[in-house]
A and B are shown apart, each in its own frame.
Chain A
Amino acid sequence: NFMLTQPHSVSESPGKTVAISCTRSSGSIASNYVHWFQQRPGSSPTIVIFEDKQRPSGVPDRFSGSIDSSSNSASLSISGLKTEDEADYYCQSYDGSTLNWVFGGGTKLTVL
């Protein structure tokens, strides 16, 4: 089993860039794809990055994903922050040892 650990909250100013980390507790972050979801208050989640760094159609190129084997973590970066980016963000990956899709605990992004 592994866990995905995210910071509880991050904040940044409009127009700036923010990075949200997702650290895998055991096993290699590169072993399985990481996906990222955005959830605005009162709404269903929407996918913003899939398979580590792929952006679904309709998601602005201000959103990008990466993985870093040295820190065993994935990262979601949002540039040119807008107030509409204020939301909870969740990372997710697959645990092949337990046949389980694992979510991180979520990060609340505040744009102020």
Chain B
Amino acid sequence: GAVVSQHPSWVICKSGTSVKIECRSLDFQATTMFWYRQFPKQSLMLMATSNEGSKATYEQGVEKDKFLINHASLTLSTLTVTSAHPEDSSFYICSATRTGGMNTEAFFGQGTRLTVV
């Protein structure tokens, strides 16, 4: 299967600082990447859809100014949590599909556990 690498795996930051999370497709080009957030013992909630070369599409209720997404190349998308606060602490996971169209399989990164203190 395809490999999606997410970095860092975990990060602890002080309240008010910004944190950048990277998601890379290592052996395929990903026109579309997805960013999810997962709270303990809950399912994955889609935050935004990241399209290469264009603005991300955010789900309802997700603050686009707080969660900045950049998809500058076909193999890299980044999520920046700006001015992080303790309530932003969560598990963030990215996924990528090979072509971004329908009938494609999604592959997931390892996830990033963010703790804001």
Same complex: no
Which A residues are within 8 Å of any B CB, using their own CB?
none
